[in-house]
Amino acid sequence: MPSSRRAPAVTDLPALRDAPKLLFIVTEDWFFASHFLPMARAARRMGLDVVVATQVDRHRAVIEQAGIRVIPVATDRRSGFAVPQEVARLVGVLRHERPDIVHCIALRSIVAGGLAGRVSGVRRYVLAPTGLGHLWISRGRRAAFGRAIIRRAAGWLRGPGTVFLFENADDPAELGVSAARGDRIAFVGGAGVDGDAFPAHPIPPDYPPLRLAFVGRMLWPKGAGLAVEAVRIARSRGVSVTLDLYGAPDRSNPDAIPERQLAAWGSAEGIRWHGAVADVAKVWSEAHAAILPTYYREGVPRALIEALACGRAVITTNVPGCRDAVRDGVEGIVVPSRDALALATGIAALTPDRLAEMGAAARRRFEERYTEEAVMAAVTGVYRDLLAVSSPPRR
């Protein structure tokens, strides 16, 4: 019979001074707090001492309230030339903390954290690219050089004490990682989403107009501009549709959409820009469908998973991560990337009956692959497997 005793909250846990130590390396505290805090809580519940090395802005208190210690590490994502300084700072952190596992989140952290770990004698790594981002859609010698560095770093770090944690089926080959050559690979559904926090909602009955919502960082490759263009085309063809844009520009990203452009879009008929949004579940409860015409190299976009959880059909593009989550004609409509005309045609195809059918399929897809519980179980399993590897040698 199950015990009625309450499981201890993370904040109830004592200091785990003699426990195995897990150290996350991530560039920004907001990114860790919004995507990976459940992962850290799960690690605490399995008895690990958990530390996060990150650039501190406004989310330190949220992380520390979960019983996770934060070590500030200055990072400048705008410059690749700052990586050597970041490596030097992380070497100091790792030599002081002596973690049993280092979990590097995103490409920059894999390079800086991996190099620092090699210098510091770290033997166990979780390397989580979370998508390949701006670097994999950029052209020119500098981008090619950056991709070569990432691939070389992945090669340096492979070995029995390293697990590569991917979110989609395309990224391993891009990094030169393969189970056939002995690399340890695990797949997870992004960072997972709490299905209770993002419940399925009935489709709003006030149709038309078809209300589309875009949620994401306001970066050109995320596709907000394509969504605007597609809605304009659909409206010119007589489709009754509106578009709500939710998100703020990422000023440290070279692909950020200027606020003046966002304001101009928001003043057009049928289109509104709302800026950053705290209650994303409310957005999906009020929208009929999601639109995410990204050509960014995603892992699996969190906004897409949240829309699936809330039972919303998704119009998205045939790019890694998105095509893993959404099947054309089942959970939504998948169109070629950078094709506003195809998006407009997809918009016109979203009848009330299709919205209801696809919305129900979307929630099922979420429950099959993208729940927070499933992701946390997979990740803690990776930690347990790594801790069972006794002082793995360097290759």
Q: What is the pLDDT of residue 76?
A: 67
Phi-psi region of 124 (alpha: psi -120 to 50; beta: other; left: phi over 0): beta
Give ranges for CATH 3.40.50.2000 in the chain: 15-192+372-387, 210-369
348 contacts: CB under 8 Å, gap ≥ 6: 234, 237, 239
Q: What is the pLDDT of residue 171?
A: 93
Instruction: Give the chain's length.
Output: 395
Whether a cis peptide bond, with omega within 30° of 0, leads into 208 is yes
List pLDDT tens digits, range 86-137: 899 999 999 999 999 999 999 999 999 999 999 999 999 999 998 888 888 8
362 contacts: CB under 8 Å, gap ≥ 6: 307, 308, 311, 312, 313, 314, 326, 331, 332
Q: DSSP alpha helices (H): ranges in the chain? A: 29-31, 37-45, 60-65, 83-97, 107-120, 141-157, 171-174, 224-236, 259-266, 280-286, 302-309, 322-325, 340-348, 352-369, 372-387
CA distances 283 to 241, 266, 272, 277, 316, Å, are 16, 17, 13, 9, 18
Measured between alpha carbons, how far is 189 from 39 in angstroms, rounded to an integer?
13
Instruction: Output the DSSP codes for 184-227.
Output: EEEE-STT-B-TTTS---PPPS--SSEEEEEES--BGGGTHHHH
Q: What is the pLDDT of residue 10?
A: 38
* Exposed / middle / buried, residue 11 (Cβ in 10 Å: 0-12, 13-18, 19+): exposed
Q: What is the pLDDT of residue 387?
A: 94
Q: With 50 as the cut, is the pLDDT of residue 5 above it?
A: no
Global pTM value: 0.85
pLDDT above 90 coverage of the chain, percent: 72
* Exposed / middle / buried, residue 386 (Cβ in 10 Å: 0-12, 13-18, 19+): buried
Q: With 60 as the cut, is the pLDDT of residue 15 above it?
A: no
The amino acid at residue 209 is: P
Q: With 80 as the cut, is the pLDDT of residue 201 above it?
A: yes
Is there a contact between 358 and 330 (Cβ–Cβ < 8 Å)? yes
Q: What is the pLDDT of residue 77?
A: 59
- What is the Cα 230 distance to its own chain's centre? 25
Is there a contact between 382 and 122 (Cβ–Cβ < 8 Å)? no
Q: With 50 as the cut, is the pLDDT of residue 266 above it?
A: yes
Tell me the CATH architecture of domain 210-369: 3-Layer(aba) Sandwich (3.40)
DSSP state letter for 122: -
Measured between alpha carbons, how far is 1 from 124 in angstroms, rounded to an integer?
38
Measured between alpha carbons, how far is 71 from 334 in angstroms, rounded to an integer?
42
Q: What is the pLDDT of residue 330?
A: 98
Q: How much is the mean pLDDT over the chain?
A: 89
Q: What is the pLDDT of residue 166?
A: 94
Q: What is the pLDDT of residue 340?
A: 97
Is there a contact between 382 and 165 (Cβ–Cβ < 8 Å)? yes
List pLDDT tens digits, range 17-60: 678 999 999 999 999 998 899 999 999 999 999 999 998 988 99
Relative orientation angle of helices 224-236 and 340-348, to the nearest 10 degrees: 60
Q: With 60 as the cut, is the pLDDT of residue 7 above it?
A: no
Once rounded to an integer, what is the mean pLDDT over residues 201-221?
A: 94
Residue 1 — pLDDT band, cuts 50, 70, 90? very low
Tell me the CATH architecture of domain 15-192+372-387: 3-Layer(aba) Sandwich (3.40)
Whether a cis peptide bond, with omega within 30° of 0, leads into 72 is no
The amino acid at residue 156 is: W
Q: What is the pLDDT of residue 9?
A: 39
